[in-house]
Amino acid sequence: MTIAVQVPPPAGQLPADFLWGYATAAYQIEGSPEADGRGLSIWDTFSRDPAHTEDGKSGDIATDSYARYEEDIALMKSYGVTAYRFSLSWSRIIPLGGKNDPVNPAGIAYYRKFMKALIANGIEPMCTLFHWDLPQALQDRYTGFCSRDIIEDFVNYAKVCFDNFNDLVNLWITINEPNVYALMGHCLGTQAPGRSSDRKISPEGDSSLEPLIVGHNLLLSHGAIAKLYREGGYKLPGKKLGIVINVNWGEPYDDTEESLEAAADFMSVTSEWYAHPVYCGDYSERTKRVIGANLPKFTPEEIELVKDSSDFFGLNHYTTYLIRRPSSEISGSNMLMRFMGNVETTVTYPDGTEIGPKAGLSWVRPVPWGFKKLLKYLYKNYGKDIYITENGVICPNEGSLPYPEILEDDYRISYFRDYVDQIIALKDSVPVKAYIGWSFLDNFEWQEGYTARFGVTYVDYEDNLKRYPKKSAIYMTEYMGKAIAKA
Ligand code: PNW
């Protein structure tokens, strides 16, 4: 089937070295959980309990991309992308995860073959070390990121990756969204490892403490890996390493002092919690105040370790919320609200209008002006080059539309185009170096199972996982092809 698209010219040009492409994560697409000696990860364990996903399905098959990588790369090449952001499965490389556990040569051989195929097709590998699929053995051994023991094991895993892949990778990402991993896995318990204070959800966990400890150990791990990368001879000219933080924009609900403070608290706890240590060396004063005594403390040596440990600001951004103080007292069990700065998020202004059109998933609405404000805010605060490492949306009804109507994703086209246009509008004031959309394929969307389709490529789960480009894929090929200057 061929889809006709009309692509008006872009509003301006992006530099010739601007990176453009799509992202995925290992557990969301690979499947083949036992191939070539892979060990179990916490996402195998978690998602094999049908109560943990919307459709009761796990990532055991996913989009079968471990086996179909050549087909996937050929499709990506046809999209004209210049970069692909993917993650490595730790338990394929070190099946039991730890520094004294054996390395798996078959896992390494696979990823080398895969990266070489990307490069041979003119696609720059953007490689994430940890996108949430921790080896189960480390969760069992010492509760994973709840323990400081993780740091040495994570550094060892990073070293194995640098030793084996650094000749093929110019852009490394240590951790994907430490904030989401800490909170969904250890406060709400809706993602692996599924820990929470709520004993109906988990037999173990402490929603008020563990996310902070996990966050702290993620930051220390990132700092230690960056030190290894820089001091171990891996940071060669043209190579970079950074962390990816998920930041949504929080706009004050109204112009009262109370809402302005609430929005500042929201931004502080949802993004500064990680960004401030990574770029400035310690938790910000506001984060310390909002979170309070439970926030772990860095020693002076640790501050030095995490300070300026990322070569760029890796930004995953999806949406904007209106922020106000909650109308009633936050109950002790609603810890997530506390981790959002003791605020309430809404999408409806005082006059009843909505911040953006409803999407196919409740938490994401297109608000391109919020993205623009965020880019200015992040550059003003941290002064780093910004790499957009994820940005995407689901169309209304996309979960239920049949093929081929489902390919007509005009809603996604508007979203992508409006967001890229903010980057173009700011090109002389905010250095954005990459735009990576989420996602290359419909895939295993964590607790949503296969019900939430973020891809520019439709995957037919009923018919041998066949791939079909959606209209957005075709549109973006032409749009980005025109927007990025020719070298
Ligand atoms: C990201 N939010 O998670 C992840 O990196 C991807 O693996 C995931 O598939 C994708 O976004 C879509 O969900 C997020 O609440 C989770 O703003 C939550 C939020 C943003 C990103």
Q: Give pLDDT tens digits for 361-399.
A: 999 999 999 999 999 999 999 999 999 999 999 999 998
Q: What is the DSSP letter of 184?
A: I
Among the listed residues 286, 280, 452, 484, the one whose alpha carbon sits nearest the alpha carbon of residue 382: 280
Contact 403, 282 (CB under 8 A): no
Distance in angstroms (rounded) separating the CA atoms of residues 80 and 440? 12
Is 104 a domain residue? yes
Contact 462, 442 (CB under 8 A): no
Is 66 a domain residue? yes
H or E segment and range at residue 285 = helix 285-291
Q: What pLDDT is recorded for position 335?
A: 79
Which pLDDT band holds residue 330 (cuts at 50, 70, 90)? low
SS3 322: strand
**pLDDT tens digits, one per residue of 112-154:** 999 999 999 999 999 999 999 999 999 999 999 999 999 999 9
Domain count along the chain: 1
**pLDDT reading at 1 higher than 60:** no
- Residue 272 is a catalytic residue: no
Query: Quick one: CA dihedral 60, 66, 67, 71, positive or negative?
Result: positive
Q: What pLDDT is recorded for position 119?
A: 98
345 ligand 1 Cβ < 6 A:
no
Which pLDDT band holds residue 175 (cuts at 50, 70, 90)? very high
Q: Which of 243, 363, 390 to mutate to test the pocket of ligand 1 (most atoms within 8 A of CB)?
A: 390
H or E segment and range at residue 274 = helix 273-280
- Residue nearest atom 16 in ligand 1 by C-alpha distance: 180
- Residue 231 is a catalytic residue: no
**pLDDT reading at 336 higher than 90:** no
Answer whether the bond into residue 193 is a cis peptide, omega within 30°: yes
Is 272 a domain residue? no
Is 75 a domain residue? yes
**pLDDT reading at 46 higher than 70:** yes
**pLDDT tens digits, one per residue of 293-321:** 999 999 999 999 999 999 999 999 999 99
> CATH code at 412?
3.20.20.80
Q: Which of 246, 270, 339, 361 to mutate to test the pocket of ligand 1 (most atoms within 8 A of CB)?
A: 246
Distance in angstroms (rounded) separating the CA atoms of residues 431 and 18? 10
Average pLDDT rounded to a whole number, residues 154-164: 99
**pLDDT reading at 328 higher than 80:** no
Q: What pLDDT is recorded for position 4?
A: 81
Is 360 a domain residue? yes
Among the listed residues 286, 278, 153, 270, the one whose alpha carbon sits nearest the alpha carbon of residue 211: 270
Cα 348 to ligand 1 centroid, rounded to whole Å: 22
Structural domain harbouring 317: 19-260+309-483
Among the listed residues 135, 148, 5, the one whose alpha carbon sits nearest the alpha carbon of residue 482: 5
Is 283 a domain residue? no
Residue tagged active-site, from 30, 177, 210, 445: 177
Mean residue pLDDT of the chain comes to 96
Token pair of 409 as six digits: 């994703």
**pLDDT reading at 216 higher than 70:** yes
Is 297 a domain residue? no
Which pLDDT band holds residue 338 (cuts at 50, 70, 90)? confident
Is 424 a domain residue? yes
What does the buried/exposed string (b/e) look like for 304-337 if buried means 16 or more CB atoms within 10 Å of the residue's CB?
A: ebbbebbbbbbbbbbbbbbbbbeeeebeeeebee
**pLDDT reading at 249 higher than 90:** yes
The least confident of 2-11, 124-133, 273-282, 426-435 is: 2-11
Which pLDDT band holds residue 3 (cuts at 50, 70, 90)? confident
Cα 131 to ligand 1 centroid, rounded to whole Å: 11
Q: What pLDDT is recorded for position 333?
A: 56
**pLDDT reading at 82 higher than 90:** yes
318 ligand 1 Cβ < 6 A:
yes
Residue tagged active-site, from 272, 302, 344, 390: 390
